[in-house]
Amino acid sequence: MKVIYLDILNDNIEDETISDKVFNDIKNGIKLKDVTFENCIFKNVNFNEVDIDGVDFINVKFENVDLSNKNFDERLVRDTVFNNCKLFGTSFIDAYIKNVVINDSLARYINLSGAKVNNLKIINCDFSDSSLIDLKAKKLYLDSVNFKNSEILNSKLENADFSNSNIDGINIDKFSVKGIYINEFQCVNIIGLLGVNIK
Rg of the chain over all Cα atoms, to the nearest angstrom? 18
Bridging pattern class, strands 151-153 and 171-172 = parallel
Query: pTM score > 0.95 for this model?
Result: no
Q: Give the chain's domains with CATH numbers.
A: 6-194 (2.160.20.80)
Rounded distance between C-alpha atoms, residue 10 and residue 39, angstroms: 19
- Confidence (pLDDT) at 13: 86
User: With contact defined as beta carbons under 8 Å apart, do 171 and 193 qualify?
Assistant: no
Per-residue pLDDT of the chain (199 residues; tens, 9 = 90+): 444 445 778 888 889 999 999 998 888 889 999 999 999 999 999 999 999 999 999 999 999 999 999 999 999 999 999 999 999 999 999 999 999 999 999 999 999 999 999 999 999 999 999 999 999 999 999 999 999 999 999 999 989 999 999 999 999 998 998 889 888 887 777 776 666 666 6
User: With contact defined as beta carbons under 8 Å apart, do 125 and 148 qualify?
Assistant: no
